[in-house]
Structure 1
Amino acid sequence: MRIVIQRVSEASVSIENHKVAEIQSGLLVLLGIVEDDDQEDINYLVRKTANLRIFNDENEVMNKSLIDIAGEVIVVSQFTLQAATKKGNRPSYIKAAKPDIAIPLYTNFVQTLEKEIGKKVQTGQFGADMQVALVNDGPVTIIIDSKNKE
């Protein structure tokens, strides 16, 4: 399981020109799932997402977490995060989990994150053609892969 975390001052997700999610200060999380991901991967990435100290404190030092600032979150499923680009110029998405595996893991990730931060997490729509808009604050962008914990 791989995530891209972007610290945002605002973000939204639209489908067919209809906004389905919108936040102010917090995180936009893009989530890519592979076939062998499980609850351990979810737990690891949820703890990281909730507790990464990437928000400024009163001294403008990145010393606060999402929980500390009571920030908002949008989670968007993005199978292209699992693209293999080693051969040729056309990315291969063969590692990305199929919907029957990915949807329950995506749903579980969102629910686990909600429990961790104690508030509702907004989402895109799995498998939809989404337009994601954001103002990356900083910019701060962090990539975490649950298979590379060390």
Structure 2
Amino acid sequence: MTSMKTRTFAETSLGEQLPELSIPITVTLINGGAIATRDYFPGHHDAEAARELGSPHIFMNILTTTALVQRFIEGWAGPLVSFGDIRIKLGVPNYPGDTMNFTGEISERDEASRSVVITLKGKNSMGNHAAGTVSLVLPA
């Protein structure tokens, strides 16, 4: 059992900013995420193949990005929230040697369902890598 506290709906407010999360982008993270999600596309693990595709280095896949979005949200909300939709769009690639910084805020709040929508961005040195929304149901 984790000792991490889960936030309740009453502890949230519209416009609340989530704490920023910085994630160093490494070869290991990109490779591990691709392998864990069974994404064997060469651009995610083979630098030479990535360069042949016109990329300067290997790049992160969307499933790894989605997992990092969930990590960001769960790090703020706690392990006992219920995830609804995770809707993200990819922008610029995540390459090794960069850092992705997640920011987010509560953009919708529904008392009847105890749900919140968080609007988020994951930026690196080139711009937005991921942007979108996550809906959650929080305990009372």
Q: Give the TM-score band, short-chain normalised.
A: under 0.3
Greater relative contact order (Cα < 8 A, sep 6+): 1
TM-score under structure 1 normalisation? Answer: 0.25
TM-score by length of 2: 0.26
* Largest Rg, 1 or 2: 2
